[in-house]
Structure 1
Amino acid sequence: AQAQNLFAPVARVNDGVITAYELSQRVAFLTLLKAPGNVRDLAMQQLVEERLKADVAKSMGISITPDKVKAGMAEFAGRANLTTDKFIQAIGQAGVAAETFRDFVSNGMIWREVVRARFASRVSVTDAEIDRALAEAKPERGVRVLLSEIMLPADNADNKRASMVRARELAKIDNEADFANAARVYSIASTRNEGGALDWKNLANLPAALRGQLARMQPGQVTSPIPAGERIALFQLREKQVLPNLAPGDLITEYAQYFLPGGRSQANLALARRIDDETDSCDGFLAFAKGAPEDQLVVESKPISQVPTEIALELAKLDPGEVSAEMTRNGGQTLVVLMLCGRSALPEESVSREQIRQQLANKRLVAMANAWLEELKADANIEYLRR
């Protein structure tokens, strides 16, 4: 009976079904990959979307060869510095079948072929767009900016919708006094009592999502809303200066994150203050977190352009050795204690215009594919049988 239940349907997608076994396998696989958020909901979403994608691929006569699937599996396993066989052995110890891994990889590869076949001929990138992308990627030497911020809650779907509506209204503000008043009323950042005012920031330390907007703004103007993890950010430019002695250019940023279950509880906030008071380097930060489970502590070193926007926004406020406890994860259930370990110059690399063109084209393809997928879901007959 138990084996029979494994193959009972948990969802119907048009004329097909998703079984309890498929769902449990995908949940186990995503858990091994440390997928964020509600893993079961994510697994169900992926499986439903993959059914729709497979139907489209079949109708278009698109498939991929077994050799290409093997190559895709090898590339995926290589990200963990493992061969395909070693990767399959590792996931097998957690109860994940090799077929689950194969299907995960092949479904993604087939969908990419479908998207190229449908949209590639419609995507064009102009020279002006390439020029703009290059300008935004390379901030002007020696520019620093004086900003004010408003952070709005987006830790669940309802808050995200409400905050986006509010953010679009706040983005229309055109003077410092009104922005400061709005920050005191609406912002969840610790700067709200100061009207959102921040100290001078090196433009090169800011994430590209913000940097590109600031490059085109005049004092008094407000950015468009910037999604930043479980917050939505707005920034007002108060002043901009060019200083010849200011450190320029692209940076490698090293930072550490300590994840505390329980969100913004009094105990967690008190612990974050202790960490801030008692440590002034990443070595001290790591020593403080010694003994924590492996998945609660992460240290990374990346070019600022590759740091997630929500993290980069907080890092821009910090000097090396300083701590932030502004961010949360998992719908507010986990507090993120963030420390900036240091910044170093990134060796200059020549990026060709063709590489930029390809990046912009791929970004546009992804946007078109996502919009199409939403249409497919809206037109499909999807029924969830067991939640």
Structure 2
Amino acid sequence: MRHFLPGFALAAGLFLGAIAPAVAQNPFEPVVYVNDRAVTRYEIAQRARFMQVLGTAGDDATVEQALINDRLRLYAAEQMGIATTEEGMQTGLEEFASRAGMSAAEFTEALGQAGVEPQIFRDYVEAGLVWRAVVRQRLTAQITVSDAEVDQELKRQIETPVISRVLVSELVIPAPPGQEQAAMNRASSIAASVTSEAQFAAAARQYSAAGSAGAGGRLNWVDLENLPPSLRPILLSLSPGQVSQPLTVQGAVILFFLRDEQGTLRPGAREQVLDYMTLRLASAAEAAQIAARTLGCDDLYVEVGPEVAPMITRQTQSQNAIPTLIATQLASMDDGETGVVSYGGAADLVVLCSREPALLAEARQEVATTALPDDGVEAAVPAADALPSRDLVRDELFNRKASLAADAYLAELRANAVIRRP
């Protein structure tokens, strides 16, 4: 599956200028064969330039592996009779170039200024296009996303704070004309080797040209909204203690180390909706006896029998709409657990069927069909757009599964391929 850096990084990288060519006696010498298809030194050098323009450059071994993977993708497509049309190829080129705010022709011209042949761009896009078709034809029919998985993902998002501030360190490596590759190699080496803030700080003191170098690259807390929009997803993709991939900008390569982050829950995220049952009985002792035999909400109907079952009340309510004594009892209960609320003489047998965030209940749009009128659920959900739609979450989960399936299939292709050195 392809990965693209934000458009501003692409555009900045395109105008760093041509990169000094690698020295090789025979640039067209095969380096490795993949199912009898050669990968040459020239292709490796060209792909390395192309990836540097995109801001994702790596060492020769990384570039070689990327080309091997592309050979495997093309091989799989050929075996399935999948090929790109000229119209499909042009659409793919235009779509890719648009990420840098350019047309395909403008992007190709800019690549030429950086020393990248047009065919390298076409080969890269073609491998992505046919692989997309392979995955769609071979794998996607086997992928399903259940409603329960969508609920679980929405619940995870509800319970995860929305990051509003980050505490980062920076390392800015100068990349004057002619030294871009050396700067990228150094940044890649640092990103691969740093495992702690102390190591990043030492590297910043040694290599960074930023004013923060003396402080180990440390910056103060910064509000996420104050950062450039293209930089936000890069920092949000990191967990505290992680280093970003090298980011190419005009005249420099930048690394970020995330030291900490702060966030707040969505409005209404702490509000819960409870699905529960109550049954009024003559005494606490009787309620306790039935409670001891009851294993969950459905089981309660069986335990009390058909004559008493109609007396059971089942409700879905937000916390602030549940009577205080019952709400207090439910607060310490797990799904399927029973409890007794005694009123001296009579008592309520209480069974908790389920609890979930009010935002999730609203997103599923089920509350109106199960809750009593004016139960307070709507008040617990301040905004309909507080969460992504269920369809969007389903698509994200589907794409995540498809990506994992594609990676597994690529690994299978690699294991079955004949990969040899000359």
Q: CA deviation at 1:125?
A: 0.9
Question: Does 1:307 pair with 2:219?
Answer: no
CA drift at 1:327: 4.7
Who is 1:109 aligned against? 129
Contact residue 168 and residue 218 of structure 2 kept, 8 A:
no
CA–CA distance in structure 1, aligned partners of residues 144 and 222 of structure 2: 45
The whole-number CA distance in structure 2 between the counterparts of 1:377 and 1:106 is 19
Q: Do 2:166 and 2:258's aligned partners in 1 also have CA atoms closer than 8 Å?
A: no
Partner deviation per Cα, 1:244-302 (whole Å, 9 max, x = no partner) = xxxxxx3455665522666638854767784379964669xxxxxxxxxxxxxx99653
For residue 171 of structure 2, give the secondary structure of its aligned residue in structure 1.
strand
For residues 359-386 of structure 1, give each alpha carbon's deviation from its aligned partner in whole angstroms, at most 9, with x where no partner exists.
111111111111111111111111134x
- Amino acid in the other structure paired with 1:55: Y
Q: Tell me the residue number matched to 2:115.
A: 95
Which whole-Å CA distance do the structure 1 matches of 2:265 and 2:110 have between them? 37
- 1:294-340, Cα deviation, whole Å (9 max, x unpaired): xxxx9965369x722xx3325xxxxxxxxxxx75879xxx9855577
> In structure 2, what is the equivalent of residue 24 of structure 1?
45
Instruction: Confirm whether residue 34 of structure 1 aligns to residue 71 of structure 2.
Output: no
Q: Quote how far apart the aligned CAs of 1:113 are.
A: 0.5
Cα distance in 2 for residues equivalent to 1:127 and 1:254: 34
Rounded Cα–Cα distance in structure 2 between residues aligned with 1:381 and 1:277: 46
* 2-structure distance, mates of 1:33, 1:137: 31
Q: CA deviation at 1:62?
A: 0.9
Following TM superposition, by how much is the alpha carbon of 1:10 offset from its aligned partner in structure 2, in angstroms? 1.0
Partner of 2:414: 377
The offset of 1:130, in angstroms, is 0.6
C-alpha distance in structure 1 between counterparts of 2:35 and 2:263, whole Å: 52
In structure 1, give the amino acid aligned to 2:69: E
Change in CA separation of 1:273 and 1:351 when aligned onto 2, cut-off 3 Å: same
> Do residues 72 (structure 1) and 92 (structure 2) align?
yes
The one-letter code matched in structure 2 to 1:78 is S
| Structure 2 equivalent of residue 259 of structure 1 | 171
Give the 3 Å change call, closer, same or farther, for CA 259–380 of structure 1 in structure 2. same
The TM-score, its normalising length taken from structure 2, stands at 0.50
How far apart are the structure 1 equivalents of 2:218 and 2:147? Answer: 52
CA distance in 1, matches of 2:54, 2:213: 31
Cα distance per residue 1:48-106 (max 9 Å; x no partner):
11112211111111122211221111121111112212211111111101111111011
Instruction: Judge conservation of contact 1:252–1:301 (CA < 8 Å) in 2.
Output: no
Q: Is the contact made by 2:167 and 2:261 (CA closer than 8 Å) also made in structure 1?
A: yes
Which blocks of at least 5 consecutive residues in structure 1 are unaligned? 140-202, 205-249, 284-297, 315-325
8 Å Cα contact 1:77-1:83 kept in structure 2: yes
The residue type paired with residue 372 of structure 1 is Y
Please show how residues 119-158 of structure 1 align to structure 2 within 5 Å. Answer: 119-139=139-159
> Structure 2 CA distance, aligned partners of 1:29 and 1:266?
30
Structure 1 residue identity aligned to 2:150: I
1:353 is aligned to: 390
Equivalent residue of 2:26, what SS? helix
Letter in structure 1 aligned against 2:90: K
Greater Rg over alpha carbons, structure: 2
| Alpha-carbon offset, residue 352 of structure 1 | 2.2
| Residues 354, 343 of structure 1: alpha-carbon distance in 2 compared, 3 angstrom cutoff | closer
CA distance in 2, matches of 1:265, 1:313: 13
2:104 — aligned with what? 84
Tell me if the contact between 2:202 and 2:216 (Cα under 8 Å) persists in the aligned partners: no
Checking the alignment, whether the CA contact within 8 Å between 1:255 and 1:299 is kept in structure 2 is: no
CA contact (8 A) 1:257 1:299 kept: no
2: distance between equivalents of 1:259 and 1:276? 8
SS in 1 for 2:56: coil
- Per the alignment, do residues 379 and 135 of structure 1 end up closer, same or farther by CA in structure 2, a change over 3 Å counting? same
Aligned length: 246
> For the residues of structure 1 that align with 2:232 and 2:402, how far apart are their CA atoms?
26
Q: Deviations over 1:124-146 (max 9, x none)?
A: 1111001001111122xxxxxxx
1:115–1:369: 8 Å Cα contact kept in structure 2? yes
Alpha-carbon contact 2:93-2:122 (below 8 Å) kept: yes
| Aligned counterparts, 1:186-201, within 5 A | none
> What letter is aligned with 2:44?
L
Residue correspondence of structure 1 range 312-327 to structure 2 within 5 A: 312-314=239-241, 327=243
**Taking structure 1 as reference, are residues 357 and 280 closer, same or farther at Cα in structure 2, changes over 3 Å only?**
closer
What's the offset of the Cα at 1:39?
3.1
SS at match of 1:17: strand
CA separation of 1:107/1:343 partners in 2, compared to 1, >3 Å: closer, same or farther? same
Question: Could you say which residue in structure 1 is the equivalent of 2:369?
Answer: none
TM-score normalized with structure 1 length = 0.54
Tell me if the contact between 1:77 and 1:87 (Cα under 8 Å) persists in the aligned partners: yes
- Structure 2 residue ranges without an equivalent (≥5): 1-22, 173-185, 207-211, 247-253, 267-382
